[in-house]
Amino acid sequence: MSIFEAIIIAIVEGLTEFLPISSTGHMIITTSIMGISADHFTKLFTIAIQFGTILSVVVLYWKKFFQSIDFYFKLIAGFIPAAIFGLLFSDAIDALLENIIVVAMMLMIGGIIFILIDKWIQESENRTEEAVTYPRAFKIGLFQCIAMIPGVSRSAATIIGGLTQKFSKKQAAEFSFFLAVPTMFAATLKKSYDYYQLGISLNTQDIQLLIIGNVVGFLVAIFAIKSFINYISNNGFKLFGYYRIAVGAIILILYALGVNISIL
């Protein structure tokens, strides 16, 4: 992987991680177009640069993270379902992750759902901000489990989960950002540990690429989060629905054309 390729991947990660459009689907298209091999370091890189993106959430919403210890316990309550589900069904999840058709179909199905429920989502704009209780956090965490199916999008699942708990669009999106911090941090640690277990050491170039990837991901994610919040405050999610369908279709077309599409 070159520095240029690392920057492109980091830009894609920063732009798509917190949007309800599936960063996995975009990683598939990006790496396939650039012809990047899905070796161990590439897999580590795509997970490790998430540290930069989750750091952007902490920086943008630092007051929330230093408000009270109760805030962290509620995030843990939302994180527990995904942690348990991931441990119990890790093999099944890995099997789905290797199925390109599943990724494309989940992108398209999620897009259709966004379009169909757009009116309901628009009505949520007039809602007052609800208290984030432990039961609500846990229920949104259950929606996050659905996102373990590649192509669903963690952000999309948790935002819809927040809307079912009577959150406004903005509140649902922001809680989705907050819940990403423990979830993605745990995923980064696990992937790093798996890499360590393989007995493969990082060289100077690898470390340099990881640093660049995290810095770029951090800066781009800050822009993406601010833009996303501003957009949904005045609009619904229908545009993201159409976009998801288009991305899913692109993946299927690339697959049908025989392009070597590899899942990271």
* Residues 22-63 pLDDT 10s: 787 787 778 777 877 767 777 788 888 888 998 999 999 988
User: Which among 99, 119, 171 is positioned nearest to 140, based on CA atoms?
Assistant: 171
Please tell me the predicted confidence (pLDDT) of residue 98. Answer: 61
The per-residue pLDDT for range 74-90, each reduced to its tens digit, is 999 999 998 888 777 76
Please tell me the predicted confidence (pLDDT) of residue 100. Answer: 77
pLDDT at 178 over 70: yes
Please tell me the predicted confidence (pLDDT) of residue 30. Answer: 81
Q: DSSP state, 130?
A: P
pLDDT at 212 over 70: yes
Buried b or exposed e, range 14-49, using 16+ CB within 10 angstroms? bbbbbbbbbbbbbbbbbbbeeebebeebbebbbbbb
Q: What is the mean pLDDT of residues 207-227?
A: 92
Q: Where are the domains of the chain?
A: 3-256
User: Which among 188, 28, 190, 18 is positioned nearest to 99, based on CA atoms?
Assistant: 28
Please tell me the predicted confidence (pLDDT) of residue 211. Answer: 93
| pLDDT bracket for residue 126 (50, 70, 90) | low
pLDDT at 233 over 80: no
Cα separation of 125 and 146, whole Å? 25
Please tell me the predicted confidence (pLDDT) of residue 264. Answer: 47
Burial category of 176 from C-beta neighbours within 10 Å (exposed 0-12, middle 13-18, buried 19 and up): buried
| pLDDT bracket for residue 229 (50, 70, 90) | confident
Q: What is the pTM of this model?
A: 0.83
Please tell me the predicted confidence (pLDDT) of residue 141. Answer: 92
Q: What is the mean pLDDT of residues 182-206?
A: 79
- Tokens 């927040």, located at residue: 162
Find the Cα–Cα–Cα–Cα dihedral 72, 134, 70, 219, rounded to 10°.
Answer: 30
C-beta of residue 252 within 8 angstroms of C-beta of residue 109: no
For residue 108 the two structure tokens come to 């398209």
Cα separation of 137 and 201, whole Å? 38
Please tell me the predicted confidence (pLDDT) of residue 262. Answer: 58
Phi-psi region of 99 (alpha: psi -120 to 50; beta: other; left: phi over 0): beta
Query: Can you give the length of the chain in residues?
Result: 264
pLDDT at 20 over 70: yes
C-beta of residue 213 within 8 angstroms of C-beta of residue 50: no
Cα separation of 256 and 155, whole Å? 28
Higher-pLDDT residue of 194, 153: 153
